[in-house]
Amino acid sequence: MTTDATLAIRLATEADLPSVVRLLADDVLGAAREAYAEPLPEAYRTAFAAMQAQSGNDLVVATVAGEVAGCLQLTVIAGISRQGASRAQIEGVRVASSQRGRGVGEALVRHAIARARGAGCALVQLTTDSSRADARRFYERLGFAATHIGMKMRLDVPDAP
């Protein structure tokens, strides 16, 4: 766990977007799908504005000494299944390479779980790329279980069915 007393977790602001996109792009998989540049591509600002307009869709950041050190997206999803239970979806979890192993990711995910409980969610779900063995062990240590097989279909590719 981090010994840095300056760790704080809060909702992201638009001013945090460059740091968040930098985190998303500073990753083996993210490098191929993100487009960090200065100035920041407008698509990220548009997406952030859409998130802010949608209730229960939050970008959360962890800061260490005032600098963004990690992020995740937490979305509360209302549902009919499980007798009308809501669930929380955690996505885009990233921690700066300089902060890994110091408890930043754990603090972020535990914060998201607490927020999901506070919102009355019956469960929290996430996916992790099958190539990320370390991430899977991390989530299992926090109490997540691989109970389902996740599937995705890319819609941004012309050949997709």
Is residue 147 domain-resident? no
CATH number of the domain that residue 99 is part of:
3.40.630.30
Is residue 86 domain-resident? yes
**Number of domains the chain is built from:** 1
Closest CA to 30 of 77, 79, 74, 94: 94
Is residue 26 domain-resident? yes
Is residue 78 domain-resident? yes
Please tell me whether the overall predicted TM-score, pTM, comes out greater than 0.85 for this model.
yes
* Per-residue confidence in pLDDT tens, the chain, 161 aa: 444 569 999 999 999 999 999 999 998 888 889 999 999 999 999 999 999 999 999 999 999 999 999 999 999 999 999 999 999 999 999 999 999 999 999 999 999 999 999 999 999 999 999 999 999 999 999 999 999 988 889 898 877 66
Full domain range(s) for residue 14:
8-141
Is residue 149 domain-resident? no
Is residue 159 domain-resident? no
Is residue 77 domain-resident? yes
The burial class, CB within 10 Å (0-12 / 13-18 / 19+), for 56 is middle
Is residue 148 domain-resident? no
